Amino acid sequence: VQLQASGGGSVQTGGSLRLSCAASMKIPARNAMGWWRQAPGKQRELVATLTTSGTANYADSVKGRFIISGDNSKNTVYLQMNNLKPEDAAVYYCYAEAQIAGGLVNNYWGQGTLVTVSS
């Protein structure tokens, strides 16, 4: 399974971007898909997740500004980012979590996509 992320770019404060992450195939026993981000010198942060049942969860820092959605028919998850702030600048990574044997989970990762926000 490969995840292909796209949609990063450079915007001004208050602008919007939409990230996309497409899986190369349907992921068996998928639990969720979502996005992490990592800014220079900072730890990776979980931004948003979307479970297969449709439950979305967000980091407090993006609540009310970011919206995660998915298209199961396309094995794709999206992240609509609105009212972007300089602190949102980071490399964004999409991931997918799937259940595997023994009650364990496996995480698939896409390549990062860079988001820069200028003030």
Angstrom distance (rounded) from CA 47 to CA 35:
5
| Residue percentage of the chain with pLDDT more than 90 | 89
Provide Rg for the chain, Cα atoms.
Answer: 14
**Residue 17 in contact with residue 10, Cβ under 8 Å?**
no
Query: Would you say residue 74 has pLDDT above 90?
Result: no
How many angstroms from the chain centroid is the CA of residue 82?
14
pLDDT bucket at 45, cuts 50 / 70 / 90: very high
pLDDT bucket at 98, cuts 50 / 70 / 90: very high
Angstrom distance (rounded) from CA 34 to CA 29:
15
